[in-house]
Amino acid sequence: MSRSFVRNSKFRHVFGQAAKADQCYDDIRISQMTWDSNFCSVNPKFVAMIVDASGGGAFMVLPLTKTGRIDMSYPTVCGHTGPVLDIEFCPHNDNIIASSSEDCSVMIWEIPDGGLTLPLTDPVVKLEGHSKRVGLLNWHPTAHNVLMSLLLRATAASATLRRARRGWGTCPRGAWRSTSVRSPGSTNYMSGNVSPSS
């Protein structure tokens, strides 16, 4: 005779409580793009989400205090000519956010303290020179103004092959240039995406 039993757990009868409607973000058209990124980024001041946009890519940056129903005409950050694939706030400056896109570019934006009142179309810096769409972004957690962007190769043999690009520079403004270096004995490129010109 077999006896079925339930393993004891201190979390068995713990249930979450849904947030109230006035504490949520409502009526936001999140992008339908299928890609390997989070489609959002949060810091102590803002929350940013990639949204559907016609004629290019866009993302929305909202102050954390602006909850509830978001108007369809709320201003967006819309400078890319292709769909935005990833966004990432700078860990050292809450007003700086980087975005990458299918248009083979990375853009760095400065968000005003109170949030956007008009659509933002001019980036602080536009990083060009990528040969393929830029899929993922990541700021260095401890070094100031170091940004890494990844190009994912779409090959059947290995979807995890990546070309890494690392950037150094000053946010928000500075003299920028691109460099590329081949690793010794390797066919892959490790590219310095931006660096302050000397």
For the chain, 198 residues long, the average pLDDT of each consecutive 10-residue run is 68 81 84 80 94 84 90 90 91 93 91 92 88 85 84 44 36 38 34 36
Residue 131 within any structural domain of the chain: yes
Using alpha carbons, select from 29, 115, 31, 110 the residue that is nearest to residue 70. Answer: 29
How many residues are there in the chain?
198
Residue 103 within any structural domain of the chain: yes
pTM of the predicted model as reported, rounded to 2 decimal places: 0.70
Instruction: Give the pLDDT of residue 20.
Output: 85
Q: Identity (one letter) of the amino acid at 123?
A: P
Task: Please report, for residues 18, 36, 120, the alpha-carbon distance to residue 87 in angstroms, rounded to integers and kept in the order given.
Answer: 27, 12, 15
Structural domain of 94? 21-150
Instruction: Give the pLDDT of residue 5.
Output: 66
SS3 23: helix
Q: What is the CATH number of the domain that holds 69?
A: 2.130.10.10
Residue 193 within any structural domain of the chain: no
Instruction: Give the pLDDT of residue 37.
Output: 78
CB of 149 within 8 A of CB of 129? no
Q: Identity (one letter) of the amino acid at 117?
A: T
Residue 80 within any structural domain of the chain: yes
Instruction: Give the pLDDT of residue 95.
Output: 94
Residue 82 within any structural domain of the chain: yes
Instruction: Give the pLDDT of residue 157.
Output: 25
Number of domains the chain is built from: 1
Instruction: Give the pLDDT of residue 3.
Output: 63
CB of 39 within 8 A of CB of 31? yes
Residue 108 within any structural domain of the chain: yes
Residue 164 within any structural domain of the chain: no
Q: Identity (one letter) of the amino acid at 12?
A: R
